[in-house]
């Protein structure tokens, strides 16, 4: 029987990387000392027509690690009560292992080599991710250790907006302020924004190429 080794179209789109949008909610800005309170990830996929969409998303509330600092200003901003008795929080290491399992499966499904973090503030998201990985002594991290994609920059390029809410709305995507600053909600809206910009770029680039080919005839 003849075998076909057709790779997924994602495998060649970003140099073998699978974009995975990550959002964290934290107890401050210092990844080494401040608590990780929520983390969510949303992977993207592309179909045979070249259209990017969200593939799947996953997120968890996490318990502050032992000795973690929690700034009052951060809690006031994100509205999280880290010690609420009904908060369904798990250890950050457990949350990461569950998320990484999903990400690794998605990387394999899309014939990619590893994941690359996409974030609206990727330096902070990647910093907290890497710090939690080190604390939990996780050896197999599917994310590139320092490369990332920045949707604030992409939003500024595509729509002239760098604030997440404004960029999302400029892209024609619904935004609910009362649901903002939830890691899963922000990750999914950021993923939609990323897909919208990539789809827009690919469509416009295809149009330019088609116009150039017509002029050459």
Catalytic residue numbers, as ranges = 181
Q: Cβ neighbours of residue 94 under 8 Å, at least 6 residues apart?
A: 60
Task: Give the pairing type, strands 17-26 and 114-119.
Answer: parallel
Which H helix or E strand runs over 199? Answer: helix 183-216
Adjacent-strand bridge partners of 174: none
Give the C-alpha separation, 88 to 63, whole Å. 9
Query: Could you tell me if 42 and 187 are in contact, meaning their C-beta atoms sit under 8 angstroms apart?
Result: yes
* Contacts for 202 with CB less than 8 Å, ≥ 6 apart: 50
């Amino acid at each position: 029987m003849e075998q076909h080794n057709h790779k997924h179209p994602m495998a060649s789109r970003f140099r073998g990387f699978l974009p995975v949008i990550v959002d964290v909610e934290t107890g401050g800005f210092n990844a080494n000392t401040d608590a990780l309170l929520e983390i969510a990830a949303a992977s993207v996929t592309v179909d045979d027509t070249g259209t990017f969409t969200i593939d799947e998303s996953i997120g968890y509330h996490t318990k502050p690690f032992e000795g973690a600092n929690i700034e009052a200003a951060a809690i006031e901003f994100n509205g999280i009560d880290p010690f609420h008795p009904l908060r369904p929080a798990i250890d950050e290491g457990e949350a990461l292992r569950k998320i990484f399992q999903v990400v690794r499966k998605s990387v394999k499904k899309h014939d990619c080599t590893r994941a690359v973090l996409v974030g609206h503030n990727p330096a902070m998201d990647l910093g907290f991710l890497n710090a939690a990985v080190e604390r939990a002594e996780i050896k197999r991290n599917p994310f590139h250790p320092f490369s990332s994609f920045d949707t604030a920059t992409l939003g500024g390029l595509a729509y002239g907006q760098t604030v997440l809410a404004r960029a999302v709305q400029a892209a024609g995507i619904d935004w609910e302020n009362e649901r903002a600053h939830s890691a899963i909600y922000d990750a999914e809206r950021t993923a939609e924004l990323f897909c919208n910009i990539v789809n827009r770029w690919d469509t416009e680039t295809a149009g330019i190429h088609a116009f150039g080919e017509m002029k050459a005839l």
